Amino acid sequence: MIPAIGLVVGIVLGLVLHPTVPLWLQPYLPIAVIAALDAVFGGVRAVLDGVFNDKVFVVSFLSNVVVAAFIVFLGDQLGVGSQLSTGVVVVLGIRIFSNVAAIRRHVFKA
Amino acid sequence: MSPRVDESMSLITELMEHPLEPSYEAAAAQRREAGLKPATSTATPLVLLTALVVGLLLALASVNLRAASSVVGQTRLRLIEQIEAGQARGDELKGKVTAIDGQIAAAQQAALGPSGLLQRLAELQVATGARAVTGPGVRVTLDDAASAAGSNADPRGSTGFGAGRVSAADLQIIVNGLWAAGAEAIDVNGQRLTTRAAIRFAGQAILVDFRPLTRPYQITAIGDARQLASTFSASPAGSYLKALGDNYGIPTSVKIEAEVTCPAGTIPAMAYTQPLPSTSTVTVPPTSKPTSTRVGVSSTPTTARTTSSPTKKATTTLTETPR
């Protein structure tokens, strides 16, 4: 419950404060969002599985975002940024779908 | 564990079967060994902070996406502002012109009033089309056929597309027919036909007095309304108008109006033209037909340039227009 409130507060803060993202950070934003979503769904599934661990959740979130951003950065430097971004999106996308499927099984028993 | 058949697919299998971070299980196993519950609380400050950051990230991303589109919107709004400012300026200038015209009329009244020249000026202005006139008349309306709406093809060009579009030649034939039927003053979509105004085309646009028209096309003719309408309908131009509707689906209508107005046309001042000294001066009675008014037929390949009487012009134009 408390993390959900934190999420909502974060969204409201972002919409109200309207902070401007520096231009050099903008290419990493979409990938960071997908990495964050992956960490969140992983955390929710862990709660439902009864194996949630706050430290693991935070570390997985941070490492996901940092590694995804690093891959995009590396790809940009090598000139294959869009291909590597696609790779990151595919891998994280598969994980998100599998985790959401597991959450669905827990919640709806289907 | 025996090697799987799909060993080469291990990466995807791993992804599909163990999407959860393995460290969750490892941490849970450690806590079990230490005799604690496998799961920790979700309400720790660390989790709250992370949730906050995730929410912020989501909001940031969505705001960022919207900002990209709002740049286009802002440019659009600015352009609309410019257009509106230009229109307001045009209206203002038009108002000024009207005011100055009024002053000119007043000055003319003061200067010419007693001498009777004002009356003569008004007669000449009516004859040349330099003054807005009113009277009974006929209103002919044409529009592009519904099938041709939105098509950019040439009006009845060689390709055969856009046959339902009204062409400049159509307007020329109808206007000539109206002159022949006894019209005294004609305007097309508010553009008065004067001695200097021509109906012509530029690309697909129809120009009258070098001003582009927009559909529907409305031709207003002042004259003996009933007689004008019947003579026009019986004339070749009238049957041409009917054929446009029958063959090409162009919606047309001819309406008798008790009172119509034709706006003033633009008559440029003549600086070099001098009247020839003549033994017998011809006076133009105010009610006479403006026989000098000719509809220019320049740049129309399908219509011949004629300088004969309006009646003859209408007939020759018709016979020379291949459909």
B281/A14: higher pLDDT = A14
Q: What is the pLDDT of residue B274?
A: 85
Q: What is the pLDDT of residue B88?
A: 94
- The backbone region for A33, taken as left when phi is positive above 0, alpha when psi lies in -120 to 50, beta otherwise, is alpha
Mean pLDDT of B292-311: 41
Q: What is the pLDDT of residue B162?
A: 60
Instruction: Tell me whether B9 touches chain A (CB under 8 Å).
Output: no
Mean pLDDT of B181-196: 88
- What would the two tokens of residue B129 be? 């089309």
**B23, B52, B57: residue with CB nearest A56:** B23
- CB contact set of B101 (below 8 Å; sequence gap of 6+): none
Q: How far apart are CA B211 and CA B197, in angstroms?
A: 10
Pairwise CB contact (< 8 Å): B54 & A61: yes
Q: Give the pLDDT confidence of B77-122 residue by residue, as tens digits.
A: 889 999 999 999 999 999 999 899 899 888 888 887 777 787 888 8
Choose from B9, B13, B17, B24 for mutation: most chain A CBs within 10 A: B24
- CB contact set of B306 (below 8 Å; sequence gap of 6+): B297, B312, B313, B316, B317
Instruction: Grade residue B247 by pLDDT with cuts at 50, 70 and 90.
Output: confident
Residue B318: is its pLDDT beyond 50? no
Instruction: Grade residue B59 by pLDDT with cuts at 50, 70 and 90.
Output: confident
Instruction: Tell me whether B38 touches chain A (CB under 8 Å).
Output: yes
- CB contact set of B159 (below 8 Å; sequence gap of 6+): B153
**B46, B56, B61: residue with CB nearest A30:** B61
Residue B1: is its pLDDT beyond 80? no
* Shortest alpha-carbon distance between residue A77 and chain B (Å): 23
Which residues 171-200 of chain B have a CB within 8 Å of chain A? none
Q: How far apart are CA B300 and CA B172, in angstroms?
A: 10
Q: What is the pLDDT of residue B145?
A: 79
- CB contact set of B217 (below 8 Å; sequence gap of 6+): B141, B142, B143, B166, B171, B188, B189, B206
Show the low-confidence residues of chain A (pLDDT under 70).
Answer: 110
Instruction: Tell me whether B25 touches chain A (CB under 8 Å).
Output: yes
Q: What is the pLDDT of residue B283?
A: 56
Q: What is the pLDDT of residue B148?
A: 61
